[in-house]
Amino acid sequence: MLGRQGLSASALEGFVIHKSSRNVRVRSGSEVLLCTLRGRFRDEKTGRSPVVVGDRVKVEPCGEGEAVLEEILPRKTEIRRARALRRGGRLRPGKAPAEELVVASNVDQVLIVMASCTPPPRWALIDRVLISTAWEKVEGGICLNKWDQVEDEDEVREDLEECLGVYEDLGYGCFRLSALGRTGIEALATWLKDKVTVFSGHSGVGKSTLINALCPDLDIQTSHVNRVTGKGRHTTTAATLYELPGGGCLIDTPGYREYGLANIESAQISRYYSEFSEHLSLCRFGNCLHLDEPGCKVIEAVEKGEISDLRYQNYLQILSAQ
């Protein structure tokens, strides 16, 4: 809990629905308050505020529709990622937890939004986010948007179905839809119902279009993928919480190019691959990283087809970038 004790009787409790560099918006009951931040809510070195969307807070009203944020209540969960270099996704050498960012708090699940094509899914990036959610003990799901663009591309579609099947067999919710065409939305809406869900994904995958489809009363700005670079532009510049018509909330977060793992060492990564678990204790060496060590039971399971080669290659890619 961060803030001061002994608040007045007029203090209100609410939750943060939007954060910018200067202030936050807090919903308290049916009212949305524009709240300024006291100096103690900013880091002296970076100037950053620890307040994030999803935080439960206490505020003191100070005018019509305005308040001062006085206290951040304890968080149930946090979704974190580490800042990464653009080259190869490696963390900046020598940088420690100061480079770790809390993206949102008090969430139940994370939906990783990827495009079926243009740009194609990055499966190792998906695994990075799933490792992060597993560390925080929140549920993870995968959404492939722009599915209409691959429906007539048999080879591409079949490859995507095979990859999604791997994750479905592991128990992850997987969704194939077209946000622009408003197809496949119903199944996702059911998964989101009555939960607080973070929408996570790199730029250009159609997150904003998907949110517009789920919340028809919104009109969030959207953008297109750059035809030259194949990368999207950051339409969403600040995290924002929206209430879903059918119940529950979603938190839209700015897109990213890379997703660094926070608080997880290289030797711990394999623990967050659930299909590895039954093999880890059987490896010849207790510190086995499952690269090329003799007597590695994880490698044997991959060779026997008991562990997906897709997931194992993702693991190797993530490990090499740590």
Q: 38: which 2 tokens?
A: 């006291």
pTM of the model: 0.87
CA 142/CA 91 separation, integer angstroms:
25
Q: What does the alpha-carbon distance between residue 103 and residue 268 come to, in Å, rounded to a whole number?
A: 22
C-alpha–C-alpha distance, residues 20 and 240, integer Å: 9
- Angstrom CA distances, 101 to 25, 50, 83, 109, 210, stand at 20, 9, 7, 18, 25
Instruction: Judge whether residue 92 has pLDDT over 50.
Output: no
Question: Distance from first CA to last CA of the chain, Å, rounded?
Answer: 32
Please give the pLDDT value at position 5. 54
* 169/149 Cα distance (integer angstroms): 25
Query: What percent of the chain is modeled with pLDDT above 70?
Result: 85
Tell me the C-alpha to C-alpha distance, in Å, between residue 261 and each of 156, 161, 291. Answer: 29, 27, 19
Strand partners, 93: none
Q: Token pair of 285, please?
A: 């060496």
Spatial distance between the Cα atoms of 151 and 174, rounded to a whole number of angstroms: 17
In the chain the domains, ranked by start, together with CATH numbers, are 2-72 (2.40.50.140), 78-252 (3.40.50.300), 266-320 (1.10.40.50)
Burial (CB count within 10 angstroms: exposed 0-12, middle 13-18, buried 19+), residue 129? buried
Three-class SS of residue 148? helix
Confidence band for 301, pLDDT divided at 50, 70 and 90: very high
Least confident of 61-65, 135-139, 196-200: 61-65
- 183-to-106, 144, 268 alpha-carbon distances in Å: 30, 12, 39
Q: Determine which of 30-44, 69-83, 296-310 has the lowest per-residue pLDDT on average.
A: 30-44
Contact 181, 146 (CB under 8 A): no
Residue that the structure tokens 């597993």 belong to? 134
Query: What are 215's two structure tokens?
Result: 């919340």
Dihedral sign from CA coordinates of 234, 89, 77, 9 = negative
Of 51, 141, 58, nearest to 102 by C-alpha is 51
- Per-residue pLDDT tens for 11-30? 999 999 999 877 899 999 99
Q: At what angle do helices 123-136 and 309-320 cross, to 10 degrees?
A: 80
Task: Look at residue 89 in the predicted model and tell me its pLDDT.
Answer: 44
pLDDT of residue 235: 52
Please write the tens of the pLDDT for every residue from 208-236. 999 999 998 887 655 444 343 344 444 55
